[in-house]
């Protein structure tokens, strides 16, 4: 196994553990054990330790998750139907993971928002990236840029809030409801665009 494999295993283990347990509850020894990597290799690849590893995980996982959501949204030609399907897929995935794996940065974002400025900035950057990408996607059907951005924010807020409710209640229904609500918002915005 090469250095690239070890680094990837560390990143993968950190992503799962931070997503499931948060930043504070995840120790470097546990990450090393889960990655089947020597403890010292974490500092070899991430000299800034846990904070650097978490920042890397936030940016990497956040970007990958954003691409996955966009691929789901682009998998169906009808944008309203694609929103419903994307939220349905999130509900199914969360239930299949026994409510342990939701948004790759949501758990950390809530935890570090007022306690770790470096990681707060990393999560804010990922959310900004998601808003920008989603704004472009909604802009295909809604000509007014502010309306497209509002839909983008709404989608992310509904997704994050529904993940939290679904995990707390161990029920995928909040995600399904959020998907239908988001689809209704887009449908209304498309009708209004056609009336202008």
Q: For residues 137-169, b (16+ Cβ closer than 10 Å) or e, as one string? A: bbbebbeeeebbbbbbebbbebbbebbbebbee
pLDDT over 70 (residue 195)? no
The DSSP code for 2 is -
65 falls within a domain: yes
pLDDT averaged over the chain? 93
Average pLDDT over residues 170-189: 97
124 falls within a domain: yes
Question: Where on the phi/psi map is residue 19: left (φ > 0), alpha (ψ -120 to 50), or beta?
Answer: alpha
The larger pLDDT score, comparing residue 175 to residue 192, is at 175
pLDDT over 70 (residue 12)? yes
> What pLDDT digit, counting tens, does each position of 117-130 carry?
999 999 999 999 99
- What pLDDT does 104 receive? 82
Domain tally, the chain? 1
Of 83-92, 102-111, 115-124, 167-176, least confident by mean pLDDT is 102-111
Average pLDDT over residues 71-77: 94
User: Which candidate, 137, 127, 129, places its Cα nearest to that of 80?
Assistant: 137
34 falls within a domain: no
What are all long-range contacts of 78-82, with beta carbons under 8 Å and residues at least 24 apart?
A: 79/137, 79/138, 79/140, 79/141, 79/186, 79/190, 80/183, 80/186, 80/187, 80/190, 81/183
Average pLDDT over residues 111-116: 90
Average pLDDT over residues 64-88: 95
Q: Rounded to whole angstroms, how far apart are CA atoms 163 and 94?
A: 8
> What pLDDT digit, counting tens, does each position of 135-149 carry?
999 999 999 999 999
Which residue do the tokens 């694609």 mark?
A: 82
15 falls within a domain: no
Q: For the whole model, what pTM was predicted?
A: 0.89
Of 82-91, 101-110, 168-177, least confident by mean pLDDT is 101-110
74 falls within a domain: yes
CB atoms within 10 A of CB 63: 16
pLDDT over 60 (residue 1)? no
Contact 152, 134 (CB under 8 A): yes
Question: Where on the phi/psi map is residue 36: left (φ > 0), alpha (ψ -120 to 50), or beta?
Answer: left
Contact 111, 24 (CB under 8 A): yes
User: What proportion of the chain, given as a percentage, has pLDDT over 90?
Assistant: 86
Q: What is the CATH number of the domain that holds 66?
A: 1.10.357.10
Domain that holds residue 154: 55-195
């Amino acid at each position: 196994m090469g250095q690239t494999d070890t680094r990837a295993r560390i990143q993968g283990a950190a992503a799962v553990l931070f997503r499931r347990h948060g930043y504070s509850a995840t120790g470097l020894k546990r990450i090393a054990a889960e990655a089947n990597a020597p403890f010292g290799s974490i500092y070899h690849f991430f000299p800034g330790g846990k904070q650097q590893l978490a920042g890397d995980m936030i940016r990497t996982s956040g970007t990958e998750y954003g691409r996955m959501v966009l691929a789901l949204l682009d998998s169906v030609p009808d944008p309203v139907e694609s929103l419903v399907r994307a939220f349905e897929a999130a509900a199914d995935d969360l239930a299949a993971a026994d409510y342990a794996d939701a948004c790759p940065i949501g758990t950390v974002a809530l935890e570090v928002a007022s306690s770790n400025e470096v990681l707060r900035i990393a999560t804010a950057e990922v959310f900004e990236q998601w808003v920008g990408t989603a704004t472009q996607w909604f802009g295909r059907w809604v000509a007014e840029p502010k309306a497209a951005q509002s839909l983008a924010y709404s989608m992310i807020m509904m997704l994050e809030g529904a993940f939290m409710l679904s995990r707390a209640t161990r029920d995928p229904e909040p995600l399904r409801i959020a998907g239908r609500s988001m689809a209704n918002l887009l449908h209304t915005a498309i009708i209004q665009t056609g009336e202008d």
